[in-house]
Structure formats: structure tokens, C-alpha cells
Amino acid sequence: MTELDDKQVVESQRILELLFSYMPKIAAERKMDNLLVLMADLGRSIVSADRCSLWLVDEDNGVLWTKVAHGVSELRIPLNAGFVGYSVRTGEPLLIKDAYQDPRFDRRSDEKTHYRTTSVMTVPLMNSMGHVMGVFQAINKQGVNEKGEQEIFSIQDLERLSLTAVYSAKTVESAMLNTELEATQREIIHILGDASESRSQETGDHIQRVAEISYTLAKLMGLPEEDVDRIRLAAPMHDLGKVGIPDAILNKPGRFTDEEYAIMKSHSEKGYNMLCNSKRKLLRFAAEIARSHHERWDGRGYPRGIAGEEIPLAARICAVADVLDALSSPRCYKQPWPEEKVKEEFIKQRGAQFQPELVDVLIEHWDEIYGVYRREAARCFE
């Protein structure tokens, strides 16, 4: 066996080890940002590139974007720009020795990142329908040749990057579909939340403000990022049950009779019943918020009269956000409370209506949290 053959065997073994190392991680990953990191690292390692990125097609906005282009956090370029744009249009790979000698080169990325591109490879990723959904791009082969010159990508490098693209395409397509489903679910949640809000004559987007205040409070409580995001998404559903409350009661300017108050309180269980049987975890999570956001820490709330940590944490957080917004905003039955009076009410209700630790975080970060209310209210009432 010649020295060249030995090198090829070693290199082939290296490629296989990389694939066996990365592909299980890629196949198991569903979060797009993490997936792009893994794939960019795999592509760079396989072809010994200085930089590698995976550009995705965003047809709605007519751009190509990458969350990971080694050296930068995110780039967006026109859909038809540069080498990646060419591969999107034609579905063809490219192998370029010197980018600056090719008229298709888009220098804007270099200008933005203060980087010098020389050799380039692009490989399109095809979805199950045969359409280009993204493009692998490798930039600047690492190392120098026997003449002391900078290495350039070879046909063999292009074949290897193409192999990586074939292995990865299905996972990218699944991740893109999952992202689309999540976005659709979020939109449905806000539509349903808006439907409950539209029944009321209250001004402004109460559900959006409650969602943002809940999100900020949850973040300041130190909850895991996933839980913080779930609370932000589910909080708009807290009053969904109001769609089942008669207008005469929902928009009554004066005090409720005992019978009317009992009907109004039923919105908590109504919202829960509308959501609790969903197959979607997020909607079942929202169901618990809808049912429990009027429970009190001291057990004197409704509908179940549960107390303390029996109340789901997300509902405890949403309760604080809901009351902060309700007291601070104009309602058909009252004028908005002054900020200082709202603050005093939370201090008064510490350990009674609200969990003490939640009130402590609220007061400690009052300017930041109340600032969220002011910002969202200004946007909604403008």
C-alpha cells in the first residue's frame, strides 16, 4: 500500500468517526439553533474548513439566514445573493477556488464580519419534495500545501460535504416542521386569548401585558428557560373561559350580585374544561393556569380553594401579573390605580393573596416589572 493510500484510509476513518459521533446528536436534536450549531461544526470538521454555516431559506421574508456562521451570531442576506443564493436557485453545488475572482460572490458578509473569503464550497439541502430548503457553505480550507500555499477545497471535499448534507437533510426538515408547528400553536393560543379579550369592553391588550409581566417575573424568579417560555406562551389563555360568560355580566359597570359573581367565577373552570383534554402539553399547561390563577396563597381563592404550593407555580405567577395589570389599567367599573397604591396592595397581600417569595421578587424588581406594564400599556393604548 502506498503512502497516499495510507493517508486515504486514515482520512476515511476520521470521516466515519466524525459521522458516528455527530449524527446521533443531530438526529436527536429538535431545537433549530442547537441543530445548526451541530451541523456547522460537523461540516467544518469533515472538510477542514475555517468556517462553515448552514443557511436556511425564509421564503416569507425573501431571505437566507443562518444562526450559526462561525465568527458571527446571525446573518441575513437576500434569497438570491452570492454563492448560497446561486445554489438555492439552481439546486447545484459550487466549488470555488477564489471567491473574489467570481462575479457571483456577495462581499457583504465579509464586509460585515471583517473576514477574507478565498475558497468556498456550497451544497444545497433538499427536502422530501425535492426543493432546496437550505445550503451548506464551507469557507477557506485550513492548512498549507507542500509549496507553502493556502490549501483550497477539492472535489473530494465537495463529495464529503454533500454526504453530510444528505445525512442531515431529513433532520433539518423535521426541525423546520417542528418550528412551524410551534409557531402555529403560539398563534392559535393568541387568537383564542384575543377571542376571550374581545368579549370584554376593557381597553388595551390585557392578555399580552399579562404574558409579558408573567414572563419577566418568571425569569427573575430564576426558573429554567423552558419553563419561562412556556409561561409566556400559556399566560394569554388565563381568561379563555370568559367566552362563556354573558355580556351583561362580563361588562357590568357596577358591583355584581352574589348570583352574578358566582357566574363570573365560573370562567376559571370553563377555561380549564376547554383546554384540559388537549393532546398538546402546552395547552394542558395553559389549562392549569386558567383554572388556578384566582386561587389565593391563603386558600381563600376559587374555584377549588387550594392553598400554598398546591397552586401551580405558573398560576401563582400569572395571578400576580393579572392583578398588577387589572389594578393599573382602566376598567368599565373603575379608574386605574396610581402606581404607588398598586405597590402597596401587593405588600399588603404578601402571604395572603400572593406567595411571599413572589411578592419579594416583585418589590425588589419593581421598576423593571412595572416598566414592562408601562411599556406594553403605552403600546396598547396609543
Residue pair 376/327 in contact (Cβ under 8 Å)? The answer is no
- Per DSSP, the three-state class of 367 is helix
Whole-angstrom Cα distance, residue 212 to residue 145? 56
Cα separation, 348 vs 369, in Å, equals 18
Helices and strands, counts by H and E, the chain = 15, 6
* 141 among known catalytic residues: no
Query: Hey, what's the torsion of the CAs at 29, 33, 35, 36, to 10 degrees?
Result: 180
User: 54: which strand partners?
Assistant: 136
The residue from 219, 242, 265, 341 that is catalytic is: 242
Task: Work out the angle between the directed axes of helices 206-220 and 155-198 (0-180°, nearest 10).
Answer: 120
Sequence-distant (≥ 6) Cβ neighbours of residue 204 within 8 angstroms = 329, 377, 380, 381
Counted residue by residue, the chain has a size of: 382
Grid coordinates belonging to 85: 443564493
Give the distance from CA 35 to its chain's centroid. Answer: 14
CA nearest neighbour of 320 among 284, 287, 356: 356
Are 75 and 98 in contact by the 8 Å Cβ rule? The answer is no
> Exposure pattern of 315-342 as b/e (b: 16+ CB <10 Å)?
bbbbbbbbbbbbbbbebeeeeebeeeeb
The DSSP result for 233-276, as a single string, is HHGGGTTGGGGGS-HHHHT-SSPPPHHHHHHHHTHHHHHHHHHT
Q: Which one-letter DSSP state was computed for residue 377? A: H
Residues known to be catalytic: 242
